[in-house]
Structure 1
């Protein structure tokens, strides 16, 4: 299958999915989310594929966020639909895939990009990677599982700080927090992922799929529904209008607090 915003190649039993929008720092838009959905669904159905690496093109960004221009004028209902559709089509799909997915975070992983990496089964980062959830600086909250998966990975206090400050952390800090499993140079990133996959694929693919399902069962899904509703509600606020307008106009936001 040919795609416009992603690349898919197979090396032996490993598939490499590359988000290929380098001029946009691989930002997620509707088309990319749909193509990623199709790619992951196809790879899950292909029994010759035993593991998947997800990465971004170039050496600057894994995914630098979502395409703000696509939803800056959405209503509350449209915002909630955006979050639910994205979670159903991509983020929850990746998290619950029976085939192991490693995120090779090769640069900026911000907003929806960090959320996408967190939906993968674990993460390896290059030493130039920067990670964060800047959504509150736009008057909205993370809407693709960020309020749920980040606390699961780094703990409630650190997640609260990262979300409320809208700040970025370095790859080394992400390693210290447990957000990523390894930090290596750009040149070592994919080779290490392949090495880890070699260890994984020595084991039973049936057992690995069952283990993924069992681990994921330990986390309630109710929080995702709360996140979707709260995300949608943000679209009805003056702060969201100001935050997104300021972003698109490349100026500092002056939030009215309403």
Structure 2
């Protein structure tokens, strides 16, 4: 994985940890940071040694305060509407690609995640937070629209509507209660808990984990019979289940049972 100006990249126990690194502005998501993050995620997806991707922010105050408003203000003057539309399309496509990343993604929510950072966090598979964690889906407060396809998948339609319509702050305890956080731990335990889960995922059969995520994503909106048929099709034509000798080598070695003659 390449070196970046605004993203720190670590690799540990099969986990790529990507840290948004602009702590002096609460990791505000400039075009440059966003582009580097998208590239780092793609690189991690292409790395056979990586089984899980963790995204976090530098410092102890913010995962990210959201979009870089100063840069957006400058862009409104510098670029034409067509150019701004192109940049917006690229940014939102990147959000989709992150959500559709074949490998599991976890947000290590070390602080506030407002606006564009809330959108980013809702695009991830899981989130682990601490007492500093809080979310705010701000689009309705400033005349924009986002998170309509990401947030309902995390917290369900009624709660997603409330959070998107109201643009209110969601504190850590509520985020955990409604499923926006998978786990809520003390700040000093955040990295350990995140890495414990990420490493557990990374150690599992890579094809199985990727296949499970792909099937889950394909199944959104399908009825139960279609979901069943999709799994049967995938496990028949894409990745057949491992035979017993491959799936349970430690058990077989420990028990030492021979096959019947």
The answer for the alignment partner of 1:11 in structure 2 is 12
The answer for the alignment partner of 1:88 in structure 2 is 93
8 Å CA contact 1:96–1:212 kept in 2: the answer is no
The answer for the alignment partner of 2:24 in structure 1 is 23
8 Å CA contact 1:17–1:53 kept in 2: the answer is yes
The answer for the alignment partner of 1:33 in structure 2 is 34
| TM-score w.r.t. length of structure 2 | 0.77
Corresponding position: 1:128 with 2:132: yes
8 Å CA contact 2:50–2:202 kept in 1: the answer is no
After superposition, the C-alpha distances for 1:111-131 in whole angstroms (9 at most, x for unaligned) are: 111111111111111111110
After superposition, the C-alpha distances for 1:55-100 in whole angstroms (9 at most, x for unaligned) are: 00001000111112333427765554333211223x2222222222
The answer for the alignment partner of 1:254 in structure 2 is none
8 Å CA contact 1:123–1:180 kept in 2: the answer is yes
Runs (4+) of structure 1 exceeding 4 A deviation are: 74-80
2:110 paired residue among 97, 106, 109: 106
> How do 1:1-258 and structure 2 match up within 5 A?
1-72=2-73, 73=76, 77-78=82-83, 80-89=85-94, 91-142=95-146, 146-219=147-220
Aligned residues: 216
In the TM superposition, residue 148 of structure 1 has moved relative to its aligned partner by 1.3
Deviates more, 1:151-160 or 1:29-38: 151-160
Q: Distance in 1 between matches of 2:43 and 2:202?
A: 19
**Residues 75 and 166 from structure 1, CA distance in 2 versus in 1: closer, same or farther, beyond 3 angstroms?**
farther
Q: Distance in 1 between matches of 2:80 and 2:12?
A: 44
Q: Find the residue that maps to 2:149 and give its secondary structure.
A: helix
Q: Distance in 1 between matches of 2:93 and 2:84?
A: 14
Gaps of 5+ in 1: 221-258
Q: Distance in 1 between matches of 2:13 and 2:204?
A: 16
Q: Which has the higher contact order (CA 8 A, sep 6+)?
A: 1
| TM-score w.r.t. length of structure 1 | 0.78
Gaps of 5+ in 2: 222-261
Q: Distance in 1 between matches of 2:174 and 2:124?
A: 19
**Residues 78 and 163 from structure 1, CA distance in 2 versus in 1: closer, same or farther, beyond 3 angstroms?**
farther
Q: Distance in 2 between matches of 1:140 and 1:87?
A: 13
Q: Distance in 1 between matches of 2:14 and 2:202?
A: 9
The answer for the alignment partner of 1:237 in structure 2 is none
